[in-house]
Structure 1
């Protein structure tokens, strides 16, 4: 089985206090507590704006060696500019360099999540954008959400330019190796994030089988909406893979008494 790095999408949710974090855990301690259980995280905050250097330094300080941060590329590039023009390429390079400088070996992937209506008609824009970044060796994973891509050769075209494609529970583009799995669920499918309210056992069985057969390292990131409580989903997935089952930090503290 290949190396598999697992994490959620964000670490600071009030509903996680109790089932995951100990009640009363200060906000400043949450990331450090999270990193005692999982070895990866996907940052959603970077979608709205690049982080400050001080934030990157703090995230680095709070996590151990071998921990990975993946980060969504800012929406200014993906949704507002739609990858078009020299500015989009420059902003992407600047963002990548910022993340590389701040996180070093802890940088996982830069997730280029394209709008739901970004379809094959904009393939030339995507490939031109990829060409402008090819020589900069940024670790970019592209998430395509429009179903029209399923009938294209985009996976091979991006691979030629050093980019990977994400696999999700919604769209899995043919020909794309499993390197970055995002389990998303349906928006607003649950009201709270404190338990597996919507178990997807059959789907988890499927993804465990796919992960065991993967050819190389894989990042796996789960959103709360997938089942209701992303940490529990990851533990269930680890169980199916025969990996060690971590104890949530709140329960670690309880076991001391």
Structure 2
């Protein structure tokens, strides 16, 4: 099956006027069968939050939950744990509602641009995989060295051997801090595709406090989406389920592109939530 959705559910232009923030996930489930949870990157979520999200979504809905920043070395804020063991244990505890309900598609480990292909980083990937035994985990790089001519086949072989789901990216090709689109699944059951846009000018040039928002300012045109339709058809020969998440939402384009892609893929989803009715 091909699951198409977007990252987060708070800021998209798909909701009826006046929809409360607390009700948006319920409405989101009327449009898409999957979503990426980004809030888990900034803080390990409480069980009550996860339980509400599970309750607010249809039976077959799927969550891609982003690994906490301390687990991937970003550390943009304070890490409120005394050890890696405590951090991983707290994160896994937070996954219990989604895992127990069958709604956990995978946990996404997205590593930063400075996480390059070297021995100690390979060792850390093994550590992460061991700590996440029993959980489906996806791996996304932001450093080009992993897919250099020297290491590409070894990287893919390592991911397959260690049980990592490949998070394939569409993103600007802006040197060392970006990765090419590598259309190879490393897991026969699941593959993740993340659509970051192609705003090459903003990708690697931080400019002001809102640069992270600017870098995802992009709208895919139909030709680019048709190119990805062919890519998905190729990936279907390698893997059972494909999750396609649009992350180009700085200008509100992700939901529109996701809906257009569903149409181009000729997909009609069963089991979505009922849409809200406007009161007037």
State TM-score, norm by structure 2: 0.74
Q: 1:129: how far off?
A: 1.6
Task: List aligned pairs for 1:1-257, cutoff 5 A.
Answer: 3-13=1-11, 16=12, 19-79=13-73, 87-88=83-84, 91-104=87-100, 105-121=102-118, 122-130=120-128, 132-133=130-131, 136-151=133-148, 152=151, 153-170=154-171, 171=179, 172-173=181-182, 175-177=184-186, 179-185=191-197, 186=199, 187-189=212-214, 198-213=219-234, 214=236, 215=238, 216-225=240-249, 228-244=252-268, 253=277
Task: Flag structure 2 segments of 5+ consecutive residues without an equivalent.
Answer: 76-82, 172-178, 200-211
Judged with a 3 Å threshold, the aligned counterparts in structure 2 of structure 1 residues 217 and 174 are, in CA distance, closer, same or farther, namely closer
CA RMSD of aligned residues (A): 3.1
Task: Flag structure 1 segments of 5+ consecutive residues without an equivalent.
Answer: 82-86
Matches of 2:2 and 2:250, distance apart in 1: 19
Say if 1:68 and 1:108, in contact at 8 Å, map to a contact too: yes
Identify which of structures 1 and 2 has the higher relative contact order when contacts are C-alpha pairs closer than 8 Å and 6+ apart.
1
Count how many residue pairs are aligned between Structure 1 and Structure 2.
239
**Which structure carries more helix by proportion?**
1
Say if 2:34 and 2:64, in contact at 8 Å, map to a contact too: yes
Secondary structure at the aligned position of 1:60 is classed as helix
Secondary structure at the aligned position of 1:126 is classed as helix
Say if 1:49 and 1:74, in contact at 8 Å, map to a contact too: yes
